[in-house]
Amino acid sequence: MPDILRFRGPALRPFLTLAVFAIAFALLPQYATGEVGTANIANVLTSFAGIGLVALALGLTMIIGEYDLSVSSTYLLGGMLAVKTGGDSPVLGAAIAVAAGLLVGFVQGVVIAKLRMSSIPVTLGGFIALLGLVYVLSNSKSVNYSDLKVTLGLNEPVLTVFTERSLIAIGIFLVLAGVFAFTWLGRDVRAIGSDRKAARTSGVRVDRIVIGTFMSSAAISCFSGALLAYSLAYATPNRTVAPLVFATTAALLGGVSLSGGRGNPLGIGCGVLCLAILNEALAVTGSAAYVTYLVTGGLLLIVTIVDAPHLLRWWRTTKAAENLRAGFSGRPPAEAATGGAR
């Protein structure tokens, strides 16, 4: 049975978290002012389409034990290239954006894989360089997209709560989830994140997969930026690290480990939906903008602490020590830990 279908342990957590968020959102009108209806669900799915693919792109690199800081810049680059080259053909503009992403990902992946460099400094340099390129392409200004027919089509409601853009994003998540579930690639990607040296020894083509992962990450980010730019009818160079913060939080909520070796696209999708529901809930209750930052930052901190690699080890060691003391004293663990005090 594929790993992704064995819903247990950490693999189950994103789905349970999403269920809790969804139930709390549905019960929101009973405990706070505001109403929740189909329009709010549509807003959640719109948010999912807007930034969810960036979280997927970043999550893929985190699963192999790396971290692509440049997703924010490739996101902006994709939107800018699509708007500037897709006036006559949106498909051509999106294709150029994806091609640029593949090139960026290939260069970064080769440097990381072949030179055995950490992804942090490499992608940080990529983030800065690509952001400068976006400003050059845009002349430091927002650029409008002329084909409003494409914009209206992408935002046209489908089955009440969906749009073409959200369905495209969902489709990409499902395709990659299928790849992870039913091919050897998902297994090898997680193996690289768990222990790269052991994966290399066992015959996994580590360098190729690392390069391919970074190419996929950059291409998905660029395509996501193109979709957003088409749907808004403009591209801007002014969104800096906000997509990166959202993507990191969503990936961690989706069960991706900071140390690599764990996670899948469906889990990342659940993390994106959790954050989208949270943002919509804060909007429904009329919360101030700073509350969104405080809640999102606090949530990121909590998830990071809970996912700390040594936390569970510390807990198990503590419990084992208590059980050992209880075995020597002949008392229950709780009583042994307190020294028998009453």
User: What tokens appear for 237 in the block?
Assistant: 């160079």
317 occurs within a structural domain: no
Paired sense of beta strands 234-235 and 162-163, if any: unpaired
308 occurs within a structural domain: no
Q: What is the pLDDT of residue 35?
A: 81
The CATH number of residue 257's host domain is 1.10.3470
Q: What is the pLDDT of residue 4?
A: 43
Q: Could you tell me how many residues make up the chain?
A: 342
172 occurs within a structural domain: yes
Total structural domains within the chain? 1
144 SS3 class: strand
27 SS3 class: coil
100 occurs within a structural domain: yes
CA atoms within 13 A on the CB side of 214: 28
Q: What is the pLDDT of residue 6?
A: 47
Strand partners, 234: 144
What is each CA distance from 118 to 2, 67, 82, in whole angstroms?
Answer: 31, 9, 31
| Range 89-98, long-range pairs (CB < 8 A, 24+ positions) | 90/147, 90/150, 90/230, 93/226, 93/230, 94/223, 94/226, 94/227, 94/230, 97/222, 97/223, 97/225, 97/226, 98/219, 98/222, 98/223, 98/226
Which residues, 6+ apart, have CB-to-CB distance to 20 below 8 Å?
A: none
CA atoms within 13 A on the CB side of 333: 7
What is each CA distance from 162 to 25, 221, 242, 311, in whole angstroms?
Answer: 18, 21, 24, 40
329 occurs within a structural domain: no
For 167-192, what is the HEC assignment?
HHHHHHHHHHHHHHHHCHHHHHHHHH
pLDDT in tens, the chain (342 residues): 444 444 455 678 899 989 999 999 999 888 777 788 899 999 999 999 988 999 999 999 999 999 999 999 999 999 999 999 999 999 999 999 999 999 999 999 999 999 999 999 999 999 999 999 999 999 999 999 999 999 999 999 998 899 999 999 999 999 999 999 999 999 999 999 999 999 999 999 999 999 999 999 999 999 999 999 999 999 998 877 788 888 999 999 999 988 888 899 999 999 999 999 999 998 888 888 788 778 878 887 887 777 665 555 665 677 676 776 666 555 555 555 455 544
Strand partners, 157: 163
Q: What is the pLDDT of residue 310?
A: 59
Tell me the pTM. 0.86
* Domain membership of residue 212 as a residue range: 11-288
> What is the C-alpha separation between 273 and 18, in angstroms, rounded?
7
279 occurs within a structural domain: yes
140 occurs within a structural domain: yes
305 occurs within a structural domain: no
